[in-house]
Structure 1
Amino acid sequence: MRCRSAVPLLLLSWLLCWLPSARAADLTVWHGYRASERAALEKVVATFNAAQGDKGTRVKLLAIPSDAFTDKISATLPRGTGPDVFVFPQDRLGGWVEGGNLLEPLDFFLEPAVRGRYVPGTLEALTYRGTVYALPLDFKSITMLYNKKLLPTPPRSTGELLKACKTLGASAAGQGGVCLAYPYTDFYYHAALMQAFGGRVFDPGPKVRLDAPENVKSLEFLLKWTAQKGLLPAEPSTALVTSLFNEGKAAIVFSGPWFIGEIAPGVDYGLAPLPTVDEAGGKPMRPWLTVEGVAISSSSKHKDAAFAFLAYLTGPEGARVMALEGRQNPALAQVYEEPAVAKDPVLSAIREQARTAVAMPNLPEMTMVWGPATSAMNAVSHKLASPKAALEEAQRTVQKEVKALRRGPAEAAPKP
């Protein structure tokens, strides 16, 4: 039919012209997934789109290479371009919020039932200065993986670990073997031991506190481990850790779900929670909990439709597919009650480890911590500095960078 433009019929005519061809919303969603994670996300989106009907919301996915993802988000969102929705790790949240009005606050959309459906700590990881900016999609954490042939029963404490390693001996794992392998000079991995001793990166404020006494104590304890022959490798690169485990030259590895894809066929392995630390009063090792969230761009013209997609993706329908086909640990708590998920050894082990994990800080200052902290770790492990001196130097470096950040580029620039 032809559309009329008579004034009394203008509104009705406009509706009749618009309804046959318009769609409720076209949403562009950016992500950095590959392989099974990407295939699972595509399946969730296809199911969501089909449920919307011909005139409902249509979600379009765009995969961005992971090494370019952060830069593209940082470049497009301030200009009001880029995606309606995107998936990102929580450590970038604070920087993007402080950088301007880039992410849509979600508190307005969040009913109590939605807030309470996620694994504890995951929604908090996507909350910055009291405001929720994304819904949690999945989480990761390091845990303990062990070779069942070398070590049938996993140790529950550091005392049991040392006893098992002494019984096993380096020779039992083969020539050049060790009992435990993990990248202990990487601050990300060391955080699990540090936080068992009550260590931390920030005090309230936030104030950087890399030189906290508890952090020093955790490094002193690590030195005792490295001094024990056959316990840890001398140069713990990720490639070496993988090689030792695959060759049967390491009985235990501390790593995350990403390590599982590197395990050689035929290696009979199990997963168990990281051990409690006898020397820290029996407190559990507390690794970082890293959370991926789904956010809405503040410049999106379809925020209601975008939130409906967020709720679906992070809800029962999306979580089930992302768990069983994408091999992710969904943030939705109820999915772990489903038999297929509950009996999955990897998903259930990471879920169990999350109970003692600590959400990685999403403060902008956190990006300044990694380099100096890892430099301190290497200095200590190579006997170039004491734990106290190394952490004090890292503290000074980070404080200097944070001070420049808070002053801003104009103030930080030298005056003529």
Structure 2
Amino acid sequence: MRKKIISAALAFMLAAVSLGGCGQEGKEAADQSVITIWHDKEDAVVQVLQKQLDELAPEVTVKLERKSDLTEALKMVGNDPKAAPDMYFFAHDKIGVYAEMGILSPVTDFIPMEELEPYMDMTIKAATYQDVVYQLPVYYETLLFMYNKRYMKEEEVPQTTEELYSYMEENTKGGHYGFVEQHSTAYYSAGWIHGFGGYIMNDQGEPGLDLPQTQKALEYHKKFVELMPGESEYATVNTLFSEGKAHATIAGPWLVPAVRQAGMDLGIAPMPVVDETGMPIAPYSGVQGIQVLKIAGENKKEAVELVLRKLMDPLLQVDLAKASGCAPASEACYEMEEILSDDVVMAMKQTAENAVPMPNRPEMDVMWTVAGNLLADINMSGRGVEESCVKAQKEALRLIGQMK
């Protein structure tokens, strides 16, 4: 009898183990069909993304999770299977940081390189770090030259920087400014530097703050700054333009809804060309898209590929452009009437032909601070350009050296 009881107990235990194993296998299969994507996007964008990605069900379930400090959160979780997402939707400029951490999978592990050819060259360049494509671009943004048609007539829109300066001289009076911008913020001043052939940092992670071209740009830009308010913060500049106290500005597409809602008859024009170089002011561009964490690339390859291919749909990119005010990454979208008739998107497309993707190297983290301090030195403290540039270059090299 005792033997029978023991035998029965063993049989029960084996059955339980077997059933538990089946349950575990079922759980693993279910986990492999669930994709978690971190993001920091506004609700309008998230709604478009979620609607499109829900079409993958029941094969794949996609969960979009908002992270207020996404960049730091990713640094903390890395590829921890218990805490990390499978993918994240974000700008391209942090790709180098995460690639150096070893937590990203190349997009080309899932999508052959030839299938990325329909994307704008600028967006693929932005998505590439050390010759590896780590992002699937979805849309991008650039700064735009905007003007208030109430004050600046179409025939007065400056084609060159000297025409802009002349307009500023004539119209900066009585509490009005001919033109304003965030002149001491590196993101905005970069366009002027690029217009002279200089750069804040190149593709190899080398700072260029003391280059002759950079110094010429900053010296030339000083006369424009003298005709702007000393306070050049985001709120001040945008308020002046929104309230009609500034006739023109260089700003991002995010400003467009607010000024139109305020009743402004808004005009958008190509960036003025620098007379001395024949090159236009060339701002940075930011490319938004999807990146894949290595742990998902290794364990959920089929589900990841389905998500990526869903986000390659040009019609989705059109819907996102409508929701975000930014421009689609796929060239095919620019054959569609919804995009061709959108003056903001088409202006960004034109600006993007000369725009420079924000550097995606880790070294850029220190360059924002150093370049900002340099601009404050030149534009606000009145220090000499050459002296300030040489000093800033040394500081940049010192800080970059500490990162290695």
Q: Shorter-chain-normalised TM-score: which range?
A: 0.7 to 0.9
User: What secondary structure, in the 3-state scheme, does the structure 2 residue paired with 1:391 have?
Assistant: helix
Q: Please state how far the C-alpha of 1:42 moved relative to its aligned partner.
A: 2.2
RMSD between superposed Cα atoms in Å: 2.4
Whether the 8 Å contact between 2:110 and 2:301 is mirrored in structure 1 is: no
Q: Helix, strand or coil for the counterpart of 2:285?
A: strand
Deviation track 1:156-197 (CA, whole Å, cap 9, x = no partner) reads 211332343445x234xxx31110011011111000000010
**1: CA distance, partners of 2:312 / 2:89:** 11
Alpha-carbon offset, residue 205 of structure 1: 4.4
Name the structure 2 match of 1:123: 124
How big is the shift at 1:199? 0.3
> Displacement of 1:294 after TM fit?
0.6
Contact 1:194–1:215 at 8 Å: present in 2 too?
Answer: yes
The one of 266, 271, 274 aligned to 1:269:
266
Gaps of 5+ in 2: 1-17
Matches within 5 A, 1:71-150: 71-80=72-81, 81-99=83-101, 101-150=102-151
State the alpha-carbon separation in 2 of the partners of residues 325 and 141 from structure 1.
16
Contact preservation (8 Å) 1:38, 1:326: no
Q: How does 1:307-386 map to 2 (within 5 A)?
A: 307-386=305-384
| Secondary structure of 1:284 counterpart | coil
Q: 1:27 aligns with which of 32, 35, 44?
A: 35
User: Greater CA deviation, 90-99 or 33-42?
Assistant: 33-42
Distance (whole Å) between structure 2 residues aligned to residue 22 and residue 186 of structure 1: 48
Using the alignment, how far apart are the partners of 1:315 and 1:393 within structure 2?
48
Q: Which residue in 1 is equivalent to 2:65?
A: 62
- Per the TM alignment, residue 203 of structure 1 is displaced from its structure 2 partner at its CA by 5.1
Judge conservation of contact 1:314–1:331 (CA < 8 Å) in 2: no
What is the DSSP-based 3-state SS (H/G/I as helix, E as strand, rest coil) of the residue aligned with 1:245? helix
In structure 2, the residue matched to 1:260 is 256
**Contact preservation (8 Å) 1:40, 1:326:** no
Secondary structure of 2:104's counterpart equals coil
The number of equivalent residue pairs is 378
Q: Deviations over 1:196-232 (max 9, x none)?
A: 10001335744222111111111100112234xxx42
Structure 2 residue 289 is matched with structure 1 residue 293: yes
Are the aligned partners of 1:195 and 1:287 in contact in 2 as well (CA < 8 Å)?
yes
- 2:161 maps to a residue whose letter is T
In 2, the alpha carbon distance for the partners of 1:245 and 1:138 equals 26
Q: Residues 131 and 197 of structure 1: is their aligned pair in 2 closer, same or farther, counting only changes over 3 Å?
A: same
Contact in 2 for aligned 1:41/1:326 (Cα 8 Å): no
| Alignment match of 1:232 (pick from 228, 232, 248) | 228
Aligned partner of residue 145 in structure 1, secondary structure: strand
Give yes or no for the alignment of 1:243 onto 2:251. Answer: no
Amino acid at match of 2:190: A
Amino acid in the other structure paired with 2:180: A
- The 2-side partners of 1:133 and 1:112 are apart by 12
C-alpha separation in 2, matches of 1:402 and 1:239:
31
The answer as to whether partners of 1:177 and 1:249 remain within 8 angstroms in 2 is yes
Q: Which moved more, 1:21-30 or 1:394-403?
A: 21-30
Query: Where in structure 2 are the equivalents of 1:399-414 lying within 5 Å?
Result: 399-406=397-404
Moved more, 21-30 or 69-78: 21-30
TM superposition shift of 1:31: 1.0
Equivalent of 1:36, from 37, 44, 48? Answer: 44
Q: Secondary structure of 2:350's partner?
A: helix
**2:96 counterpart letter in structure 1:** G
Question: Where does residue 5 of structure 1 map in the other structure?
Answer: none
Report the AA paired with residue 92 of structure 1.
K
Q: Distance in 1 between matches of 2:53 and 2:33?
A: 14
Letter in 1 for 2:356: V
TM-score, normalised on structure 2?
A: 0.87
Q: Is the Cα–Cα contact under 8 Å of residues 201 and 367 in structure 2 kept in the other structure?
A: no
**Which structure 1 segments of 5+ residues have no match?**
1-9, 407-416
User: CA shift at 1:270, angstroms?
Assistant: 1.4
How does the TM-score come out when normalised to structure 1? Answer: 0.85
Match of residue 410 from structure 1: none
* Cα distance between partner residues in 2 of 1:317 and 1:179: 39
Higher share of residues assigned helix: 2
Q: 1:106/1:243 Cα in 2 relative to 1: closer, same or farther (>3 Å)?
A: closer
Residue in 1 that maps onto 2:9: none
How far apart in 1 are the matches of 2:105 and 2:305?
A: 10
Partner of residue 3, structure 1: none
- Residue of structure 2 in register with 1:394 after alignment: 392
Question: 1:23: Cα distance to partner?
Answer: 8.4
Distance in structure 1 (CA, Å) of the matches to 2:229 and 2:371: 20
Larger mean CA deviation between 214-223 and 315-324 belongs to: 315-324
Q: Give the match for residue 158 of structure 1.
A: 161
Structure 2: how far apart are the matches of 1:350 and 1:203? 23
**Structure 1 position 178 matched with structure 2 position 177:** yes
1:159–1:278 CA contact under 8 A, matched in 2: yes
Deviation track 1:133-157 (CA, whole Å, cap 9, x = no partner) reads: 1111211111101001111212221
Secondary structure of 1:121's match?
helix
Residue 261 to residue 162, structure 1, CA distance change in 2 (3 Å): same
For residues 279 and 225 of structure 1, what CA distance do their matches in structure 2 show? 15
**Residues 210 and 386 of structure 2 are in contact (CA less than 8 Å); yes or no, is this contact kept in structure 1?**
yes
Does structure 2 conserve the Cα–Cα contact (< 8 Å) formed by 1:37 and 1:327? no
Q: Cα 1:170–1:207, aligned 2, differ >3 Å: closer, same or farther?
A: closer
The question of whether the paired residues in 1 share the 8 Å contact of 2:36 and 2:85 is answered with: yes
